[in-house]
Amino acid sequence: MEAGVTMEAANATDRLVTAFDHHDPEYTPETAQLVNSEIRERGVTYSPAYGGIWILSRYADVRAALTDWQTFSSARGVHFPRAEGMPMFSPIDFDPPQQREIRDRMADPVTREAVGGLEPRLRRIAARLLAPVVQRGHGDLMAELAEPFAIEVLGVAFGLSDACRSRVRAATKTMWTYISTDRDASKFWPAFHDILAEEIDRVRREPDGGYIAKLAAMRRDGRPLPDEELYSIIVSFCVAGHDNTMNSITRLVHTLGQDPGLQLRLRREPGLRAAVAEEALRRWCPTDRFTRVTTREVTVAGTTIPAGARVVLLFDAANRDPEKFPDPDAFDPDRGNSHQHLGFGHGIHHCMGVHLARAEFAAVLDELAELPVYDLAGPSELHFENGRHIMFDQVQVRFRTGEER
């Protein structure tokens, strides 16, 4: 048993390696690292959970599956199990040609050029949120920076109203609670649907020039896009546009709080800040997994997976594959290939918001580099949302003053 691993975690690991289930109550952030590592050592594995699932966990295998969308299809939904009545998310729950058409409609607010125009504003948002924490000398960088920053940037980038922004986070948390465990979309989708319907109605009555208004005015074959298609696009932006970014920023500020020396280095070497963000994404993948369904029988690393099989792609395990990233459990911003992580996916479903996410990380790191050094001021506990998103409950910090800086 590894040092620091409890007997309970070790027992849960042994069970989950042979009967993998990411919704099992004992599949926690502690056991996930152990389970994912052991599964990766074994290669392609099978679990009887949910009628049978296959798990890919090595970097080369996961990357190849993400590349081969013709074999590893997204068209039956990447969230699994899937709540009855849950909508499809655009574009990730679609294959070409629909995927390409939807992606084209969603591209405008997240292009490199569009994001470049937002960068000064992102920095101002980060500065405004951090100011009271620094003035006070302490605070929770999860609740006071990462969450409100991600939500506000979401609204700015996509043209969401203040009313919509204020409800998105609560609706997302409710969705992750019920999306798979209860298999009942009626516990979360009607509330989310109402938020989106109100937004669409708002921009149709009073177009404001934002992306949501432009989306609602789009035509296909001379007709407006169906409301259900609009809901699918907007909910994807609402959820993916803040959730992973929020979690990644939280991990970044927690990592820096553990290493004041790295904070000082980032002041001296601003060019290193992007590498720190990429290494954090590699080391702590904000979305642990997605799934696909095979369209044909396929052999992966000597194992034959049948047609119609549900396949789980373990991004976190792939990002810690020593064949790709030597000494993978070490946080090393100098490793040189951190940017090749799979935290943003790969292939046709590579994250659309990658430019915006990286701009957000840059804004936060640039602003922190202008502030006093800080230390962690209390414990932070990790938990899963929906068996996929690893989150801290808080990141309490204390900023140094005077000679401490």
Q: Write down the domain spans for the chain.
A: 7-404
52 exposed, middle or buried (CB, 10 Å; 0-12, 13-18, 19+)? exposed
Q: Which residues lie below 8 Å from residue 73, measured CB to CB, with a gap of 6+?
A: 95, 292, 293, 294, 295
Q: What is the pLDDT along the chain (405 residues), one digit of tens a residue?
A: 444 567 777 788 889 999 999 888 888 888 888 999 999 999 999 999 999 999 999 999 999 999 999 999 999 999 888 777 788 889 999 999 999 999 999 999 999 999 999 999 999 999 999 999 999 999 999 999 999 999 999 999 999 999 888 898 888 888 877 776 656 788 888 888 899 999 999 999 999 999 999 999 999 888 989 988 998 999 888 888 888 899 999 999 999 999 999 999 999 999 999 999 999 999 998 888 899 999 999 999 999 999 999 999 999 999 999 999 999 999 999 999 999 999 999 999 999 999 999 999 999 999 999 999 999 999 998 887 765 677 888 999 999 986 555
Structure confidence at residue 11 (pLDDT)? 81
CA dist 349 → 77, 305, 352 (Å): 13, 22, 8
Structure confidence at residue 170 (pLDDT)? 86
> Cβ of 128: how many Cβ atoms within 10 Å?
13
Structure confidence at residue 123 (pLDDT)? 97
Structure confidence at residue 402 (pLDDT)? 66
Structure confidence at residue 2 (pLDDT)? 47
Structure confidence at residue 388 (pLDDT)? 64
Q: Which fold has domain 7-404?
A: Cytochrome p450 (1.10.630)
Structure confidence at residue 1 (pLDDT)? 42
d(CA 324, CA 335): 11
DSSP letters for 99-150: HHHHHHHH-GGGSHHHHHHHHHHHHHHHHHHHHHHHHHTEEETIIIIIHHHH
Structure confidence at residue 5 (pLDDT)? 61
